[in-house]
Structure 1
Amino acid sequence: MTLPFRTRAALLACALALPLLAGAQEATIRKNLAERIPALSNIDEISKTPMKGLFEVRIGTDLLYTDAEGNFLIQGSLLDTKARKNLTEERVEKLTAIDFKDLPLKNAFTQVFGKGTRKLAVFEDPNCGYCKRFEKDLQKIDDVTVYFFLIPILGSDSVTKSRQIWCSADKLKTWNDWMLREVAPKGAGDCNTDALTENLDFAKKYRITGTPTLIFADGRRVPGAINTQQLEQNLAR
Structure 2
Amino acid sequence: MKLPPLVTLCLSLAFAPMLFAATAQDHAALQQKLTKTLGIEITSLTESPVPGLLQAVTSHGIFYVSPDGGKLLQGTMYDLNDGMNNLTESAMAKPRLEKLKPFEDQMLVYKAKNEKHVVTVFTDITCGYCRKLHSQMKDYNDLGITVRYLAYPRSGVPSKVADEMESIWCAKDPQKAMDDAKSGKSVASTTCDADVAAQYRLGVSFGISGTPSLVLEDGTMLPGYLPPEQLNQALSRIN
Answering whether residue 149 of structure 2 is matched by residue 145 of structure 1, we say no
> How far apart, in 2, do the equivalents of 1:138 and 1:130 lie?
13
Q: 1:62 to 1:162 in 2, by over 3 A?
A: closer
Q: Give the corresponding residue for 1:214.
A: 214
Separation in structure 2 between the aligned mates of residue 103 and residue 38 of structure 1, nearest angstrom: 29
- Distance across 2 between alignment mates of 1:198 and 1:234: 31
The residue number in structure 1 matching 2:63 is 64
Which residue matches 1:198? Answer: 194
CA apart distance, 1:157: 5.6
- The Cα shift of 1:48 comes to 1.5
Aligned mates of 1:203, 1:16 — CA distance in 2: 40
- In the superposition, relative to structure 1, how do residues 205 and 6 fare at CA in structure 2: closer, same or farther (>3 Å)? same
Structure 2 CA distance, aligned partners of 1:50 and 1:165?
41
Match of 2:163 in 1: 159
Considering only CA atoms, is the larger Rg found in Structure 1 or Structure 2?
1
In the alignment, what sits opposite 1:19? 20
- Check if 1:80 corresponds to 2:79: yes
Task: Tell which deviates more after alignment, 8-17 or 146-155.
Answer: 146-155
> In the TM superposition, what is the alpha-carbon distance from 1:92 to its structure 2 partner?
1.7
Query: 1:20: Cα distance to partner?
Result: 3.9
Shift of 1:131: 1.3
Partner of residue 233, structure 1: 233
Unmatched runs of 5 consecutive residues or more in structure 1: none
Tell me by how many angstroms 1:47 deviates: 1.9
- Pick from 171, 175, 179: which aligns with 2:182? 179
Offset from partner CA, 1:123-142 (integer Å, 9 cap, x none): 43322333113324555432
TM-score (norm 2): 0.66
Tell me if structure 2 keeps the 8 A contact 1:28–1:70: no
Distance 1:8 1:120, change over 3 A: closer
Q: Secondary structure at the match of 1:9?
A: helix
- Aligned AA (1:203): Q
One-letter code aligned to 1:76: G
Q: Secondary structure of 2:68's partner? A: coil
CA distance in 2, matches of 1:106, 1:4: 59
Deviations for 1:56-89, whole angstroms, at most 9, x for unmatched residues?
2333252222333334333222223333422211
Alpha carbons 1:152, 1:159 under 8 Å: kept: no
- Give the Cα separation in 2 of the matches to 1:225 and 1:215: 11
Tell me the residue number matched to 2:91.
91
Q: Show the counterpart of 1:52.
A: 51
Q: Distance in 1 between matches of 2:139 and 2:46?
A: 43
Secondary structure of 1:12's aligned partner = helix
1:161 and 1:61 mapped to 2: Cα distance? 23
Q: Kindly report the root-mean-square deviation, in angstroms, between the aligned alpha carbons of the 2 structures.
A: 4.1
Q: 1:58 to 1:162 in 2, by over 3 A?
A: closer
- Percent identical pairs in the alignment equals 20
Q: Which deviates further from its counterpart, 126-135 or 99-108?
A: 99-108
